[in-house]
Amino acid sequence: MTSGHDLLHRAIANPEVLHWHTWAALAPGPALVVLGAVHGNEVCGPQAIARAADDLVHGRLALTRGRLTLVPVANPLAFRQNTRGGERNLNRRFVPRPEPRDYEDRVTRQFAPLLAAHDALLDLHSFHTPGEPFAMVGPRDNAGPREPFARAAEEMALARALGARQVVQGWLEVYDRAARARGEPPGDDGIGTNEYMRSQGGYAVTIECGQHEDPEAVEVAGRALLGALAHLGMAHVPAPPRFTGPAARLTGVVLRASPGDRLARDWHSFDTVQAGDVIAWRADGQPLRVAEDGCVLFPYPQAEVGQEWFYVAVPDSA
């Protein structure tokens, strides 16, 4: 097998071929799949996964039970272009189609059965603006029609084991609100790798490892991967400190309505706000105020009109 970093070069050289590598211990245990570069301009995941693959090849890391699949580059075309998507955002309609319509559909057709063959997914990402790393989980256990789920406790336990000092929950419900605000019915556009994994009976955690260009994000991604292996008992590796505080629950999303809309300040994720604080101004001078104490998440000053501009969250009381 080639070295870990050769895997990244191969992804760039030929985006028509997907590469993943699986290690299976003889002792039974959970099956974990780790994805990097679902978004091609988020390079911390590929680098951390390549390093882990190299450690496995050269014996610096050993799997003791279960099955581990590493996917350094989930979207090779976007990775080669250094763009969020190749032809579109892979993480906004991760649903297999009988007849693929674009590059990401073809990628989804190959990766969907791979995810379904595992128990847990760790998806490594980064973000635009400076801020603290955080893990993201899905809904609480429910039998609803949109995202039924029965493994919330396992998912939260994994999220707390990754070394991030924040956990965020409630993504799909709030994303659906954004779709309705755009005049669109909630549908497949809100389904990403994590949502697909849950639909197949598994559970999934995304970790946002820091700003895209921050070298420390690679270290955060590497610690998260080792934290997952330690938590699942798949390798004898040091475990990062567990997060023990309350999760942040997403409660709202605001779309940018005009190029003249502007944020009230240079917000970073998890900046605290109090009820009544102005987060942003519309182009006509209308202030956008928060309804309750909480924090700002995912601020994106360069958001396109009609796209998510920022989210708000509150400490979860459950």
Task: Give the CA radius of gyration of the chain.
Answer: 19
Instruction: Give per-residue pLDDT as tens, 276-314.
Output: 999 999 999 999 999 999 999 989 999 999 888 999 999
More confident residue, 43 or 306: 43
Instruction: Give per-residue pLDDT as tens, 255-267.
Output: 999 999 999 999 9
Q: Which residues pair with 52 in a beta bridge?
A: none
Residue 94 is predicted with a pLDDT of 97
Quickly state the pLDDT bin for 2 (edges 50, 70, 90): low
Is residue 1's pLDDT more than 60? no
CA atoms within 13 A on the CB side of 176: 11
Residue 318 is predicted with a pLDDT of 62
Provide the token pair at 42. 């988020």
Residue 4 is predicted with a pLDDT of 61
Is residue 186's pLDDT more than 70? yes
Residue 118 is predicted with a pLDDT of 98
Is residue 171's pLDDT more than 90? no
Residue 175 is predicted with a pLDDT of 86
Is residue 211's pLDDT more than 90? yes
Q: Give the global pTM.
A: 0.93
Quickly state the pLDDT bin for 180 (edges 50, 70, 90): confident
Least confident of 4-18, 71-85, 217-231, 282-296: 4-18
Domains defined for the chain, CATH in brackets: 4-231 (3.40.630.10), 248-315 (2.40.50.630)
Quickly state the pLDDT bin for 185 (edges 50, 70, 90): confident
Is residue 3's pLDDT more than 80? no
Residue 316 is predicted with a pLDDT of 86
Mean per-residue pLDDT of the chain: 94
Residue 182 is predicted with a pLDDT of 80
Instruction: Give per-residue pLDDT as tens, 86-133.
Output: 999 999 999 999 999 999 999 999 999 999 999 999 999 999 888 899
